[in-house]
């Protein structure tokens, strides 16, 4: 398993597996396949549900992240990049998506697919929203964690000094 996300109602699991360009939507109670999302052309690296569970964003080694309609299995929006997308996350209100690709973080309008803002850091490998959607936390694939103001794109805090690689970061539920 490369990536997994559970729908907000705990009824569905989105699963990306090693070497696969598909996302499997599984019934959380039975484990049976509800639908398989096809369209990526290389391994899928990350998946995240929208807060209402109606959409799923996926990103992988191909240069296009995708927003899916979970009910139909159809692509609702394409988020193109120049390289693969290592990390994705839906904003808490479902209006925006964060991606990490080619060492850059991008904030996208989830409806239009337009980039709202780029997070200009020294290499961004993972992205996650704060519970209120006003901030993001990123890792650089090394030992640095950064928090960002999403309204301005400004760095709020840089946490350095980890002894090894930081492969993920997130906010606590209360921010």
Kindly report the pTM of this predicted structure.
Answer: 0.94
Average pLDDT, the chain: 95
DSSP for 6-68 reads E-TTSSEEEEE-TT-S-EEEEETTT--EEEEE---SS-EEEEEE-TTSSEEEEEESSSEEEEE
Q: What's the pLDDT at 3?
A: 97
Determine the average pLDDT of the residues in 84-107: 95
- The answer on pLDDT for 129 being more than 90 is yes
Q: What's the pLDDT at 76?
A: 97
Neighbours of 9 (CB within 10 A): 10
- The answer on pLDDT for 122 being more than 80 is no
Q: What's the pLDDT at 164?
A: 87
- Tell me the per-residue pLDDT of 138-169, one tens digit each, with 9 for 90 and over: 999 889 999 999 999 999 999 998 888 998 99
- For residue 175, name the pLDDT band (cuts at 50, 70, 90): confident
Q: What's the pLDDT at 161?
A: 85
Across 99-128, b (16+ Cβ under 10 Å) vs e yields bbbeebbbbbebeeeeeebebebeebbbbb
- Tell me the per-residue pLDDT of 4-41, one tens digit each, with 9 for 90 and over: 999 999 999 999 999 999 999 999 999 999 999 999 99
Q: What's the pLDDT at 83?
A: 92
């Amino acid at each position: 398993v490369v990536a997994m996300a559970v729908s907000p109602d705990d009824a569905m699991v989105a699963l990306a597996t090693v070497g696969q360009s598909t996302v499997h939507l599984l019934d959380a109670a039975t484990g049976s396949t509800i639908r398989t999302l096809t369209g990526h052309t290389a391994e899928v690296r990350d998946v995240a549900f929208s807060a209402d569970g109606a959409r799923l964003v996926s990103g992988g080694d191909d240069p296009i992240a995708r927003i899916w309609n979970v009910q139909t299995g159809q692509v609702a929006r394409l988020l193109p990049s120049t390289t693969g997308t290592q990390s994705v996350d839906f904003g808490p209100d479902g209006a925006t998506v964060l991606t990490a690709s080619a060492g850059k973080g991008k904030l996208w309008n989830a409806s239009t697919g337009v980039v709202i803002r780029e997070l200009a850091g020294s290499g961004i490998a993972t992205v996650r929203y704060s519970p209120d959607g006003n901030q993001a936390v990123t890792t650089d694939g090394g030992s640095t964690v950064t928090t960002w103001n999403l309204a301005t794109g400004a760095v709020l805090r840089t946490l350095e000094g980890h002894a090894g690689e930081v492969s993920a970061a997130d906010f606590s539920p209360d921010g």
